[in-house]
Amino acid sequence: MSVDAKLVRDLRERTGAGMMDCKKALLESNGDLELAIEALRKSGIAKAEKKSVRDAKEGLIISYVHHGSKLGVLLDIGCETDFVAKTEGFQDLANSVAMQIAATNPMAVSKDDIPSEVVEKEREIYTDQAKSSGKPDDVVEKIVDGKVKKFVEENCLMDQSFIKDPDVKISQLIQEAIATLGENITINRFVRFALGEKN
């Protein structure tokens, strides 16, 4: 079976994968574009781990303004090449992450970015709450640890459940994109603006 060059080009534009990888995926999927994208994603997950240490000095600044223009996000998302930054796959990912930030208002990209004093303050509050219930110290400790873990997950972008698919964490979404697009991808920083709120 021969593969239509236009189909290869379409797949390359959508995924950012190499020409030969696109051709192979289309051959294996009998020319089905969606199946080829899925095959590229699956084969790329293992490679994604190796790519995550590479520099991501290209990318985009994406702006997302929610309907009604009262909420907006600026997102700095990085990749390795200008070519991938222009692909539909990368831009879709960037828009999805910006929408996530608008919807969930995370404090930081990763848990390392949340100031330790903020986490400790939450721990104190949860400890006081649990102790006031009269539970034993070992039970209090488990309750507090669970609440702190949940607080961190809810306030770190990478640990949040994706609003479009709650079974997927944002970190997994990024890993899948790395696998599909073939380059390291990093969420560098973001700012969320809501009308009337002070940052």
Cα–Cα distance list, 91 to 8, 14, 38 (Å): 19, 10, 18
Strand 186-194 versus strand 71-79 pairing type? antiparallel
The pLDDT, as a whole number, for residue 53 is 55
Other C-beta atoms within 10 Å of 198: how many?
Answer: 4
The pLDDT, as a whole number, for residue 139 is 84
The pLDDT, as a whole number, for residue 55 is 67
Tens-place pLDDT, residues 145-161: 999 999 988 999 999 99
Taken in order 109, 113, 118, 120, is the CA torsion positive or negative?
positive
Indicate the length of the chain as a whole number.
199
- Residue 13, pLDDT > 90, answer no
pTM of the predicted model as reported, rounded to 2 decimal places: 0.68
Select from 42, 62, 54 the least CA-distant residue to 81.
Answer: 54
